[in-house]
Amino acid sequence: MLEITEQYQNIGDEIRKNPYIVNLALDAYRRIGLTPDIQPFRGGTDGNAITAKGIPTPNLFNGGDNFHGPYEYVTTEAMALTAKTIVAIAQEHVRQFGKHDNQPL
């Protein structure tokens, strides 16, 4: 007998219903001089788990490489840029408070 169990949901549908969250990240990226490179992917990430609990959570870059292997790594420079990006997203949210960009993605 075959039993299929859902492991995680595709967050794309929830993200499309709540475009502000991605538009906010894109605005923050541009404000600190990053060029967005959007590449949709699937996988069981923290974003999937948090979105399933009702908080739309797109996956952001983390600067790592060689994921899920013995040579997976992230540099301290990439971690610093990730931290700077998270701060910029929080600042952008405060700046945009009450003026959410809900333009479709």
In a domain, 74, yes or no: yes
DSSP alpha helix (H) spans, 1-105: 12-17, 20-31, 46-52, 76-95
Domain enclosing residue 30, as ranges: 18-35+42-95
User: Based on the structure, what is the number of domains in the chain?
Assistant: 1
Q: Give 64's strand partners.
A: 74
Q: Please provide the distance, in angstroms rounded to a whole number, between the alpha carbons at the two ends of the chain.
A: 41
In a domain, 30, yes or no: yes
Rounded Cα distance between 51 and 17, Å, is: 12
pTM (two decimals): 0.78
In a domain, 8, yes or no: no
pLDDT of residue 31: 94
pLDDT of residue 105: 62
In a domain, 3, yes or no: no
In a domain, 101, yes or no: no
pLDDT of residue 11: 85
Helix (H) or strand (E) holding 73: strand 73-74
- Using alpha carbons, list the distances in angstroms from residue 49 to 17, 26, 32, 82: 17, 22, 28, 20
In a domain, 89, yes or no: yes
- Residues 47, 15 contacting (CB under 8 angstroms): no
In a domain, 27, yes or no: yes
pLDDT of residue 24: 92
In a domain, 87, yes or no: yes
| Tokens read off for 103 | 């333009």
Question: In a structure prediction context, what are the per-residue pLDDT tens digits for the chain, which is 105 residues long?
Answer: 899 887 777 888 888 898 989 999 999 999 999 998 888 776 677 888 898 899 988 888 878 889 889 999 999 999 999 999 999 999 999 988 877 777 776
